[in-house]
Structure 1
Amino acid sequence: MFTYIGLMRFTDQGIHAVKDTTKRAAAAKALAKKHGVDMREIFWTMGKYDMVCVLESKDEQALAAFNLAVSMQGNIRSQSMRAYAADEMDQILGKLP
């Protein structure tokens, strides 16, 4: 499984309908599952990003398809970053000279 951190910002449309954000998040979680993605956590945040989520996917294409499907709804703009657990990072570091 690949782990990703999703950073999201509301669009004008998304902030206008912010009262529905938790309902939209629940729908996004169900949509993620249909794409083979597990949306493990979602947090609403203050600052540069409005939401942060932790996602797991068996493959990168599934995550990309999910991100595009959510973005097509027009409520958020997102950025995904690959995340590595300590054991994965140890394997990466083991390949260094």
Structure 2
Amino acid sequence: MIIILGSVQMAPGQRDAAIAVGLEHCARSRAEPGCLSHDCHVDAADPDKLVFVERWADMAAVRTHFTVPASGEFVRRMAALASAPPQMALYDATERPVG
């Protein structure tokens, strides 16, 4: 499984627009093959920071997701609403049972 953690610091006055763009992207991404989950959260410590948590079946699904034109448009739209460049990190993970 691939986990992607992303964040964006929203520019002043852009919070509602950024949340709308983020939720639209999450809803679209969830319908893509290999997407296990795709969520957008407001940072409890910083209400002007959005955090994205994504889980993908494998790297092939992530690569396909990155080639979808709407994914590139999401990055451009979100960057225009941000006060700093968005951040992203990818992790290769193995899910382990709890207990």
Report if TM-score (shorter chain) is over 0.5.
Answer: yes
SS, match of residue 86 in structure 2: strand
Contact 2:2 2:93 in 1 (8 A): no
SS, match of residue 16 in structure 1: coil
Counterpart of 2:81, as a letter, is N
Calculate percent identity across the aligned residue pairs: 8
Shift of the 29–21 alpha-carbon distance from structure 1 to 2, 3 Å rule, reads same
The aligned residue for residue 41 of structure 1 is 39
* CA distance in 1: counterparts of 2:20 and 2:37, whole angstroms: 14
Q: 2:76 aligns with which of 67, 72, 75?
A: 72
What's the offset of the Cα at 1:82?
A: 1.5
Shift of the 86–75 alpha-carbon distance from structure 1 to 2, 3 Å rule, reads same
Shift of the 63–8 alpha-carbon distance from structure 1 to 2, 3 Å rule, reads farther
Q: Point out where structure 1 has 5 or more consecutive residues left out of the alignment.
A: 89-97
Contact 1:9 1:50 in 2 (8 A): yes
The aligned residue for residue 4 of structure 1 is 4
* CA distance in 1: counterparts of 2:32 and 2:73, whole angstroms: 10
Shift of the 63–79 alpha-carbon distance from structure 1 to 2, 3 Å rule, reads farther
Please, what is the CA RMSD of the aligned residues? 3.1
What's the offset of the Cα at 1:43?
A: 1.4
SS, match of residue 16 in structure 2: helix
1:61 equivalent to 2:41? Answer: no
What's the offset of the Cα at 1:86?
A: 5.3
Length-normalised TM-score, structure 2: 0.56
Length-normalised TM-score, structure 1: 0.57
Contact 1:5 1:53 in 2 (8 A): yes
Displacement over 4 Å in runs of 4+ = 34-39
Q: Point out where structure 2 has 5 or more consecutive residues left out of the alignment.
A: none
